[in-house]
Structure 1
C-alpha cells in the first residue's frame, strides 16, 4: 500500500500526514529522526501558510533550531525542492517557492489534463466503489476538520485528496508529477478565501467520488474541472515577508508520522 493510501486509512482516526517524497530514489530517513521531523515541520508550515512564499530557509538557522549538521539540513531542503515546496537558488540559498501567476496558470492547466486522465481510468474499473472507499473516509475527515475550524488540517487533507486519487491510477510517474503540482498550486491559494467563493472543497470532492462510483467518467471530469477552476480563481500573489524561523519551527508541535 502506498504512503498516501495508508494516510487515508488512518485519516478517519484523526491521524494525518504530509505527502512525503515517494517516487524519489532516496532511501527514506528513519522514522522519528531529526531529518524526518525537520522535513515534516517545514512541509506543514508551508502548506498551512505559516511560512509564506519567498521566506528564506537559512541553513545556519535550521542547524541551530534542530541542533543538527548542515548535511542533514541540505538533505531536507533537497527533499522539499523535489516536492516543489522550496526553490534552491545558486549562490543565494533556499526559499519557500513562489510560483509566478503564469506558472500557476500552466500548473492548473496541466492538472486539468492529468486529473481528467486519472478519472477516466478509475471510472472504468469494475471495483471502483471498493477502491475509492478510503477516499470517502478522507473526505469525511476533511469535512470535520473544516467544521471544527481546524484550517491547517483541512488545507492538508484537501491537497492530499488529489494525490491520493492519482495513486489509485497505479502510475508512479503520474503520482510524482501530481505531488509536485498539488504542492506548488496549494502554495498560491489565498490564505483568506475571496468573497463569493465556496471554500467547501469536501463537497466538490464528494461529487467527484459520486460520479466515479456511478461509473460516469464524463460527470466526474466535469466536477473536477469546476473544482480546479474554482481553486485557480482563488490564487492570489503573496507579499514576501521577513520571518524568524524560530517562531514557527522547532517548537515540538510538528506532526509525527
Structure 2
C-alpha cells in the first residue's frame, strides 16, 4: 500500500488535497484499519500526507506561503550540499550520478512519468547522502517529497521544471571542482522547479483506479 500510494502521489495520479479514507484503502487492500493508519502515518512522516484531527488524511497540499518557504530552505540546504561535495566526489560517485541521470532521461523519453519523477527526486537525495550528513538527508527527503507535489504535470513538452539536463550541469560543475558554478547551477535548477504549481485537484476521482487496482481486485497485506 505504501509504495502504491507513494507512486500515485509522485506521479500526480493522486493530486494535492485528495482525501484518503481508511475504509476505502482497507477495502482495496484487504487490510485492517490499524494497518492502514500505520501506512498513512509513514506517508505523513515523509511529508506526503497531512493528518488532521476530525478531518482524516489528505494528500499534502502546501499553500503558496509554505511552498515559498520550502524552496527557500531547499536553496540554503542544497547550496551547502554542493559546496561540501565540490572537490570531494570520487570518479565512482560521479559515474553513479551520471548513471542515475541517464536512467532519469530514459524514463522521460519512454514516457514513464512515475519513474521519471521518482528518479528526479532521488538525484537530490543521493547528493545529500554523498555529503555525509544523516540529518541533512532526512530533512531534504521530506522537503523533496513535499515540494514534488507542487511541480505541475500540465506542461509535457519542452524543458521540464525538474530537468535531467540541469542535474547533469550540477554534476559537471562538481566534477570540475567548481563550487561557485555548482551552487549557481543548483540555484537555477531549484528556481525552475518552483516555477509551476499544481492545478487544484479534480473534484471527482476513483481511488482504486488511481492506485492501479482493477475493480473487484483485492490485494492482501
Task: Check the 8 A contact 1:194/1:234 in 2, yes or no.
Answer: no
Unmatched 5+ residue regions in structure 1? 1-37, 253-257
Change over 3 Å in CA distance of 1:216–1:128 after alignment to 2: farther
Distance 1:207 1:91 in 2: 46
What secondary structure is seen at the aligned counterpart in 1 of 2:122? helix
Change (3 A) 1:232 1:92: same
Q: TM-score, normalised by structure 2?
A: 0.91
1:51-200 alignment, distance < 5 Å: 51-125=14-88, 127-193=89-155, 198-199=159-160
Alpha-carbon distance, 1:236 to partner: 3.9
Spell out, residue by residue over 1:43-80, the C-alpha distance to the aligned partner (whole angstroms, 9 max, x if none): 00000000011111100111111001111101100000
The alignment's C-alpha RMSD in Å is: 1.7
Secondary structure at the aligned position of 2:58 is classed as strand
User: 1:205 offset after TM fit, Å?
Assistant: 0.5
- C-alpha contact 2:149 2:198 (8 A) present in aligned 1: no
1:224 aligns with 2:186: yes
- Deviation, 1:251, is 2.0
Q: What's the counterpart of residue 35 of structure 1? A: none
Q: State the alpha-carbon separation in 2 of the partners of residues 194 and 225 from structure 1.
A: 23
Which ranges in structure 2 are unaligned for 5 or more consecutive residues? 215-221
| CA distances 1:169-205 after superposition (whole Å, capped 9, x unpaired) | 111111111011001111011111288x621711110
Say how many residue pairs are matched: 213
Residue 196 of structure 2 is aligned to residue 234 of structure 1 = yes
2:9 maps to: 46
After superposition, give the CA deviation of every residue in 1:139-198 in whole Å (9 maximum; x if it has no partner).
001111111222221111111111111111111111111011001111011111288x62
Match of 1:188, SS state, is coil
Distance 2:210 2:191 in 1: 32
CA distance in 2, matches of 1:249, 1:229: 31
Tell me how far apart the structure 2 counterparts of residues 177 and 52 of structure 1 sit (CA, whole Å).
23
Aligned counterparts of 2:87 and 2:92: Cα–Cα separation in 1: 13
* Runs of 4+ that moved beyond 4 A: none
- Cα deviation for residue 237 of structure 1 reads 4.2
2: distance between equivalents of 1:240 and 1:128? 46
Looking at structure 2, the residues matched to 229 and 128 of structure 1 have their Cα atoms a distance apart, in angstroms, of 28
The answer for the alignment partner of 1:28 in structure 2 is none
TM-score (norm 1): 0.79
The question of whether the paired residues in 2 share the 8 Å contact of 1:65 and 1:249 is answered with no
